[in-house]
Amino acid sequence: MIKNKTFCLSIASIFALVLVLNFASAATVFSDNFDDGDLTGWTTSNWSNAGTYAESTNVDNATLERTISTSGYETIIVKYDRQLGNGWETDNNFKLSWSVDGSTYTNLEEVVGVTADSPDLPNDASFVSKTFNLPSSANNNAGFRIKIECSTDATAEFCRLDNVVIEGTATSSTADFCAYDSGVTQNPGELKVDIRDITVIEGYGKDEEWLPLDEVEIEVRVENDGNYDVDDISLEWGIADSNLNNWVLEMDEIKEFNLKDGKDDTFIVTFQLREKDLDMDLDEIVGNNYKIVVRATGTIDDRDSSNDGEKSCHYDSEDVSIEEETDFVIINNIDFPETVQCGMDVQILADVWNIGSDEQDDVLVLLRNTELGIDERTEFSRIKEFDNEKLTFTVQIPEDASEKTYYLEFTVFDEDGDIYENDFDDEDSKFTAPLVVEGNCGVSQKALVSASLQSGGKAGDDLVIKTTITNTGTTSATYTLNAADYSSWASLSSIDPITLIVNSGESKEALLTFKVNNDASGDQTFNIEVLSGTDLVMKQPVSVSIEQSGFGGFSFGSNWYLWLIGALNVILVIIIIVIAVRVAK
């Protein structure tokens, strides 16, 4: 029984070891067996493909080289088969070398003609297999490059190359982020994803150190560093811990696109750290470190490539942190009209957020602008941690305010009367928001406007509207009349009179005459504008009903010429019938 148990445990151990070896085994980063009859993708000088291998013969200084990205791979291995002819002399040689920058090369193998150190001539009867393990400097390098050189001066002194293979072990991060939900771990298309910049465009965080509710912008560049087109590239991004166990934002697609060889494209991602947009609660994410992960997965689309149709993946990541505050209350999501008029009541809405980990009592919010005479305050007895309360202010814009942009200042105070400041960089909880005041400013005159149909109302005819202007101000006023927003159904013929001098409490009338378009029909609208100088005093919407033109209310509309052609055809048919009847008699 013990022997059987020991045997079973041994078998299980061997099986487990095989599994481990399989998971840790090298993956093929690149391969070329030259069976396609060409050297597409290689940079060549005096090398050719005879159909099943690359060859150089009877040429001095022949080179064959190629960039093969090892991004996401370590423990790089270079394998190839080579065959060298005979009769080599001192100045004949074969050399295979590698580089991380395409400038400085390190030899893997060099074979030369007869020298004191190498008295034997090369004379391979068949291909010889070579394998080289590279140092760590070759790991995870998008610029990794190999170069094969051959110098001979006779037909028999050839260099032949076959079955070039670059292998590597996928780094743990590549296996996580490229294989996550896609299963793709290789990058034969030589895609390169680069997180170029991370910026907090709104909020209290800085670059890679964030606070809740920060609005963040990420710039991402995707390059095709290979020699083949890569199509259907899905660019995705997400924020997670290093083990992909907890996602602040699950992987989501930014864009799907194609990228030709040697080309690149840049994308901007903008997001806000607020609960409704996240996959975790605010209290769960603060005080932790995360990674922004950006991944591009596409398919090689090039019939000249031995990797045509294969998937290719590359990713980039950046470490970020979401900082934790203890006592910090801020204003967020401020909302009010972009442009307001003098004398107008303006409602201002906002959220008061406690983004700290402690509950806050007796929070005071002040809203001020000395130029507009605004000085408002609201108190909140309690705001729970990582929670918010709604803020509402109603302010009146002075009638004599200047037309310009004003800045409203919000300030948040704690229970001790001190302005909240964060622990991150001691920045105060103050916010400014622009308010544009434009229209009706400095105008003491007020007016009431009414309108009624004087005559007309058919398409193609004149339409006359009578308007009555009443001065409700305290002094005499000169008003200028204008019509607007009618061009889709009519043209303006006249306004008579266009200028009215109206005493306080007095009313005067004017006629607006329009030429109605032939194809107009149904209910139409326009605006009567009353101006005092250059200031808009009043804008009065007016609705009119337009009757279609035509016989008995029937309208030909814009296709009148088609109806005319049809009528002529009917008349022509009648004439032919009449003539035919007479001929028959």
pLDDT digits (tens, 9 = 90+) for 132-165: 999 988 988 878 999 999 998 888 889 999 999 9
Quick check: do 171-322 and 447-548 share a fold? yes
Q: What is the pLDDT of residue 242?
A: 72
What local confidence, expressed as pLDDT, does residue 21 receive?
A: 38
- CATH class of the domain whose range is 171-322: mainly beta
CA distances from 573 to 9, 32, 481, 585 (A): 103, 79, 56, 19
pLDDT digits (tens, 9 = 90+) for 554-575: 444 445 556 567 777 778 778 8
Evaluate if residue 188 carries a pLDDT over 80. yes
Distance CA 153, CA 53 (A): 20
Tell me how far apart the alpha carbons of residues 249 and 276 are, in angstroms, rounded to a whole number: 11
Output the pLDDT for position 464. 92
Does the structure show a pLDDT above 60 at 117?
A: no
How far apart are alpha carbons 228 and 44 in whole angstroms? Answer: 16
pLDDT digits (tens, 9 = 90+) for 516-555: 999 888 888 888 888 887 777 777 878 888 888 654 444 4
The CATH number given to 27-169 is 2.60.120.200
Number of helices followed by number of strands (H, E) in the chain:
4, 35
User: 329-437 belongs to which CATH class?
Assistant: mainly beta
Quick one: pLDDT at residue 306?
79
Domain boundaries along the sequence of the chain = 27-169, 171-322, 329-437, 447-548
**Does 2.60.40.2310 match the CATH number of domain 447-548?**
yes
Q: What digits encode the pLDDT tens for the residues 387-421?
A: 999 999 999 999 888 889 999 999 999 999 999 99
Mean pLDDT of 39-54: 91
User: How far does the chain reach from its first CA to its final CA, in angstroms?
Assistant: 125
Lowest mean pLDDT of 230-239, 380-389, 513-522, 534-543, name the range: 534-543
Q: What is each CA distance from 371 to 414, 435, 438, 530, in whole angstroms?
A: 26, 12, 15, 28
Average pLDDT over residues 445-450: 73
Contact, 317 vs 292, CB < 8 A? yes
Burial 556-578 (b: 16+ CB within 10 A, else e): bbeeeeeeeeeeeeeeeeeeeee
Percent of the chain with pLDDT over 70: 89
| pLDDT recorded at residue 28 | 83
